Amino acid sequence: DTEVTQTPKHLVMGMTNKKSLKCEQHMGHRAMYWYKQKAKKPPELMFVYSYEKLSINESVPSRFSPECPNSSLLNLHLHALQPEDSALYLCASSHEKRFRDDSPLHFGNGTRLTVT
């Protein structure tokens, strides 16, 4: 079991759909992350939020729109995706760097997204 909960576990969407992925943690972590993982590849960082503010955007296309409404929740809004965006989307959280320098990231089990 993981302390980072992601919903839904699976999602199939068309290229014209709008959908959202959700992530929740109750460990008091103030840093939250989105990663993307293609099949048989390592996870790749997309976004980092620190104290509910976006601190890192790894040049992710605008069809992916992150949102951090409060310290426990992280959303990823999806719009006009392409089939090549099909992947496992992972959420993670950790203590913020200024609070604890070496805090490990704790990952959820991801949302497996298929774009048709």
Partner 1 sequence: DAKTTQPTSMDCAEGRAANLPCNHSTISGNEYVYWYRQIHSQGPQYIIHGLKNNETNEMASLIITEDRKSSTLILPHATLRDTAVYYCIVRGSGETSGSRLTFGEGTQLTVNP
Angstrom distances, CA of residue 5 to CA of 38, 55, 83, 106, 108: 20, 22, 25, 10, 6
Does residue 66 belong to the site contacting partner 1 (CB under 8 A)? no
Residues 71-90 that bind partner 1 (CB under 8 A): 90
Toward partner 1, which CB reaches closer, 51 or 82? 51
Does residue 59 belong to the site contacting partner 1 (CB under 8 A)? no
Minimum CB separation from partner 1 for residue 81, in Å?
21
Does residue 43 belong to the site contacting partner 1 (CB under 8 A)? yes
Binding site for partner 1 (CB under 8 A): 2, 4, 31, 33, 42-45, 48, 50, 55-56, 90, 92, 97-98, 101-102, 104-110
